[in-house]
């Protein structure tokens, strides 16, 4: 029996409806396998070696948890972790308040140059993060930014980059 618009069902029908072999899936699969290989193998090696002492010619490597206790058991690590949490919360709160105020001002008020502000809001998404990082490093450098030298005069402020960054000669 054949229904209008549908081919007759017979034993050869499933083979006739098979899709042809597509090489793009082989290429995608190889790329995924290669990416996993170059990411997981070094990570697994690093994790495995973190449980052993360094091997020397006179002494074989021994299993230990001392690497983790020395890294995560010190008060300095706790202080650094708390510093990172404070920075993350402060930066997030600042970005939330400033972003909310600017979004409200751009959408709910009759601000002049509204389209310019909307276009400028996309710029941080376009510029790579490394460029922002280099810009902040140069801004904090005592040798390159005149704005930081003006802030330092009379305020006693020292640049956080003064000992680690040497620009020029």
Per-residue pLDDT of the chain (169 residues; tens, 9 = 90+): 555 655 555 555 555 577 788 899 999 999 999 999 999 999 999 999 999 988 888 888 899 998 899 888 888 999 999 999 999 999 999 999 998 998 898 889 888 888 888 888 888 888 888 898 888 888 877 776 555 555 556 556 565 545 444 444 4
Long-range contacts of 130-139 (CB under 8 A, 24+ apart): 137/161, 137/165, 138/167
Chain length of the chain: 169
Average pLDDT of the chain is 81
Per the CB < 8 A criterion, the answer to whether 142 and 161 are in contact is yes
Question: Per-residue pLDDT tens for 116-137?
Answer: 888 888 888 888 888 988 888 8
CA distance 60 to 51: 13
């Amino acid at each position: 029996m054949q229904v209008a618009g549908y081919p007759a069902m017979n034993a050869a029908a499933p083979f006739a409806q098979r899709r042809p072999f597509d090489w793009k899936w082989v290429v995608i699969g190889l790329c995924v396998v290669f990416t996993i290989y170059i990411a997981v193998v070094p990570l697994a090696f690093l994790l495995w070696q973190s449980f052993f002492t360094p091997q020397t010619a006179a002494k074989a490597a021994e299993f230990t948890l001392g690497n983790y206790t020395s890294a995560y058991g010190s008060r300095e690590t706790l202080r650094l972790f708390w510093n990172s949490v404070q920075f993350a919360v402060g930066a997030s709160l600042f970005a939330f308040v400033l972003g909310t105020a600017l979004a409200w001002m751009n959408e709910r008020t009759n601000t002049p140059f509204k389209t310019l502000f909307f276009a400028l809001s996309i710029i941080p998404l376009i510029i790579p993060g490394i460029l922002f990082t280099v810009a902040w490093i140069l801004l904090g450098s005592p040798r390159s930014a005149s704005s930081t030298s003006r802030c330092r005069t009379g305020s006693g402020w020292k640049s956080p980059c003064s000992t680690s960054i040497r620009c020029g000669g």
